[in-house]
Amino acid sequence: KDLVDVVQEAVDLASDAGKEKAAAAEETVDAKDLSSIEQILVGGPIHEAKNEILELKEKAIEHSEDLVEITALDSAFSETKVAKRLRTKLNTMIDNVDTLVSKLEEEKRMIEETIPDPAMGESAATKRDKQVRVQDLIDALTKLQAKPAQDGESVKEAEARRSRIEQLLVSIDQDADGIIDADLVLEVIALLEKHGDLKLSASQIASMVGMLKKECEAEELGPTIDDDESSEGTSESSKDGKKGLLDIPNVDPK
């Protein structure tokens, strides 16, 4: 099943459940909240660099748009040669930013590929390494936001965001055992980054993680089931063969 379909199914399921429970007004998860979780799980270097580059790109686009607007206001303010060169340089910077972000994404993808494929099966030790305690994430988040002024947030805003992220993490931990799969959470975050137009609530994101978890478990069970069926088929064929031999009449060649 395509991951985009998984996203859509999760959205539909969570939406229906929300209507039944009168939770239509549930607040959607902010991209910055997901970014904070990703930063904690990944460790930060590539993620931080990507965010800084994307912010630079946004500023470059804003400056370029400002130049176009100024020119459109009055023909007397037509672009000078210097302004044209500046806009050209900004456009080049934007293109370079896209290239750099692609390189960072590729590097991130290569790192993620070092993680064993769930379909290949994993040892108990590997699965334990992928598990993360929700409380550890919350503690790390608290330390990360110890200086909210650096991000232009007030203490109150930072506390509200921390509370939202904590609620999201608790929602993702559907079996309430205090442990979540880091890989699944990162996979969902990556999907939401690709589909930026999707605005999901904490319960909808939790549904996505739950569905991906079930798919991974089904993939792990798949080869085992196929092997069992194959063994049963071979056994049945063997039995049929023996029955066939027994049914052959003992004809005297004389």
For 138-150, letters b (16+ CB in 10 Å) and e give eebbeeebeebee
Please give the tally of structural domains in the chain: 1
Which helix (DSSP H) or strand (DSSP E) does residue 121 occupy? Answer: none
Domain contains 198: no
CA-to-CA distance for 37 and 35, rounded, in angstroms? 5
Please tell me the predicted confidence (pLDDT) of residue 204.
Answer: 85
Domain contains 95: yes
CA-to-CA distance for 22 and 19, rounded, in angstroms? 5
CA-to-CA distance for 57 and 68, rounded, in angstroms? 17
For 50-64, letters b (16+ CB in 10 Å) and e give beebeeebeebeeeb
Please tell me the predicted confidence (pLDDT) of residue 125.
Answer: 46
Domain contains 97: yes
Stated pTM of the model: 0.46
**Amino acid present at 27:** E
Please tell me the predicted confidence (pLDDT) of residue 146.
Answer: 52
Domain contains 138: no
User: Over its length of 254 residues, how does the chain's per-residue pLDDT go in tens digits?
Assistant: 556 666 666 666 665 555 545 444 567 888 778 877 877 777 655 556 666 666 777 777 777 777 777 767 666 566 677 777 877 777 777 677 667 767 766 766 665 555 445 444 445 444 455 567 777 777 776 665 554 444 566 777 777 877 888 888 888 887 777 888 888 888 888 888 777 777 788 888 888 888 888 887 787 776 555 555 555 555 555 555 444 433 434 444 44
Domain contains 25: no
CA-to-CA distance for 11 and 210, rounded, in angstroms? 12
Please tell me the predicted confidence (pLDDT) of residue 254.
Answer: 44
Domain contains 89: yes
**And the tokens for 151?**
């991000």
Domain contains 216: no
CA-to-CA distance for 210 and 10, rounded, in angstroms? 9
For residue 109, what are the domain limits? 47-114
CA-to-CA distance for 62 and 49, rounded, in angstroms? 20
Domain contains 165: no
Q: Which of 58, 54, 80 is nearest to 67 (CA)?
A: 80
**How far does CA 235 lie from the centroid of its chain?**
43
CA-to-CA distance for 64 and 252, rounded, in angstroms? 100
